[in-house]
Chains A and B, each alone.
Chain A
Amino acid sequence: MHDLDALKAEAKRLLEEGVVEMIIGFKAGDTPLHPQPAFFKTPEEVDQLVYNALCQNNLATYLTRFPKTLKIGMLVRGCENRSVNALVFEGQHPREALYLIGVPCEGIIDWRKIVAQAGEEVISVTEQSDNTILVESKSGFFTLEKNTLLHESCARCIHPNPVSADIVIGELLPEGDPALAREQVAAFAELSLPERYAWFRQEAERCIRCYACREACPMCYCEECFVDHISPRWTESGTTPAGMQGWHIVRAFHQTGRCTSCGACERACPMDIKMTYLTEKLNEDMRQKYNFEVGMDTTTPPPFSTITLDDKSRFVV
């Protein structure tokens, strides 16, 4: 549960005092399961601010849309804060032009899990103080345990707290257990090669190439994505197995040392495709081999973003 009044008060103060020109947060959606990202430019507009466990987008994805001179305030959870840091490192917005309102995050609810239990016709969703969610749907009232509804990325989250916010509203939470993140990676690695390939195919080949995963990801901000290149063509254009596999594998690879495990890609996917098992493996490798986690600050370069003249692999320089 978040202290919405305190969040609103801080957001209003920032706009009133001219600290920022715009606040990126959430507002109520037109359906109870889907709050919408929102952009507030006046203190009055901030009255519309909502913040709850159904706010499923990584707001950092909007950062690259605005001029670097615009002073932006943003509500950030652990993953969002790290995404912002990664973007600052990549020169996408100066840290001085940002004011981060940090919110310790208890995890995002996967609305599909609510629908699976309460039916699609959900009328209202209320977070209760005892870690349960009261759902009213056409089929009746349901009291659901919040922990059972969390999105998978959130259930294994390592850093729920903002790492470098300008202010933190709410009490800091205990850090997550990296062993949980490892578990999933290890379980996948234990499968035989044909089993892993079958899993990969089953997920990748449901893709309709709508690129919701790309657009939801803060780190996918290329003006021209590799799939849109005409010459050279890096991967097949259609929903052939080669085209879909090509997209999923290269998308994941481009995230090496850049992905903050926020899971926004999976939450955006209209075909319920699992994607984070690929990026989580890369993230685990980054931790194991390079002792690196992206976005913990704005200055440490990701291992694959560094080039030194004494690099062992001469092909780089």
Chain B
Amino acid sequence: MNLILKKDQLNHLLNSWRQDYEVYAPQALQNYTHFLPLQDGFELAFDKAHNTRIPPKALFLPTSEALLKFTKFGGYEQVPLETAPRIIFGIRPCDAHAMTMLDTVFEQERYTDPHWKARRDATLLVGLGCHEPCQTGFCTTVGSGPFNHAGLDAILTDLGEIFLVETLTEKGEQLFTQLETATEEQSKQASEVQQAAAASMPIAFETEGLKEKLDQNFDSPYWEEISRSCLGCGVCTFLCPTCFCFDIVDEAQRGERVRNWDTCMFRTYSLEASGHNPRPSRVERTRQRLSHKYTHWVDQINQIGCTGCGRCVRYCPVGLDIRAMLRKASQLPSEVAHV
């Protein structure tokens, strides 16, 4: 259903949600924006088309969290889960889309991650579409878009003085019961804004046949070329909304088993107890990062494991750009000689 939210009523609406929910929205933190719980007198910082520095995956998979505590005499106890109802307001469509992909990892039939599931079940996602898409983003190239609905309970379109609200789930509808219905004219205007935004984004690289090219060129010198200046830090993967790798560590002094973010870009990620490392250099690690997103996800869920948010492009300390890497990949030979 399409509804109208006047911008000067937004804070009032958010405050009314705060009665029943913890409401997270992008707010200024240092020089960037971050999803923080709204407090009295909050100031939103969501007027820019850009994303928060840390993707909202961190609200479901924290950078570090204790899974269990050790007790005396070899026992342990679970760390209680916080599952207060939450609304994440102002999440961008790329980040919401990424949540649906992570669900396929953490909510598999046989193995469901209880922490992830509890937090997901307790959280509503109210999206803000990108009427001015960011320069580094490439959502339309990878099957998402500036007004993609995936994962969202409702999505807002900025129409100047008002937001047009499209409710997408029953729960989303419940959040906006007090709003007036949009006129046909307003709905039409919103759909024009949405189409213009998507149309303004150039196709960053060819995805047709990309998976096959990457698969066929597993041993190509291409990987060394694109990883030559890579520092091997975790910026691209930690800031990525679809990267989910973690490491489980026993912090003996704290008496806790903790789960920390980890990344395939680290040497220690694939280091085995014997000392052998199947991904000994940045070449293999870069290949893993790109292949996971552009071939393994495609094999597993038939979707590219990237929603084009552009964070890795913006914050790579050496200016590496995944779009350029994949443009180069599409120039690779399709058939490699059989050995």
Contacts and interface: CB of A to CB of B under 8 A. Distances in A.
A120 B50 CA distance: 8
Interface residues of B, number: 46
Interface stretch (A28-36, A164-172, A182-190): A28-36
Nearest to A273: B30
A238 B235 contact: no
Given A29-B321, A31-B313, A36-B229, A272 B32 contact: yes
B155 interface: no
Given A116-B31, A237-B251, A267-B317, A216 B63 contact: no
A215 B316 CA distance: 12
B175 interface: no
A215 B319 contact: no
A182 to B, nearest CB: 26
Contacts of B38: none
Nearest to A264: B317
B229 A38 contact: yes
A208 B261 contact: yes
Contact of A270 (B64, B235, B268, B320): B235
Interface string A17-41: 0000000000001110111111100
Size band of the interface chain A makes with B = 35 or more
A51 to B, nearest CB: 14
Nearest to B282: A65
B110 interface: no
A208 B54 contact: yes
A268 B233 contact: yes
Interface string B302-339: 00000000000111111111011000000000000000
B281 to A, nearest CB: 9
A239 B258 CA distance: 10
B313 to A, nearest CB: 7
A228 B319 contact: no
Contacts of B268: 228
A209 B323 contact: no
B136 interface: yes
A57 B230 CA distance: 12
Interface string A177-198: 0000000000000000000000
A126 B72 CA distance: 65
Interface of A: 29-31, 33-39, 56-57, 61-62, 112, 116, 120-122, 138, 206, 208-212, 214-216, 228, 233, 236-240, 243, 267-268, 270-272
Given A39-B228, A270-B53, 6 more contacts: A39-B229, A211-B233, A214-B233, A215-B317, A236-B251, A238-B64
Interface of B: 30-32, 48, 50, 53-54, 63-64, 132, 134-136, 228-229, 231-235, 238-239, 247, 249, 251-254, 258, 260-261, 263, 266-268, 313-321, 323-324
11 contacts: A34-B316, A57-B318, A120-B135, A120-B314, A208-B261, A210-B233, A216-B317, A236-B251, A237-B258, A238-B251, A270-B235
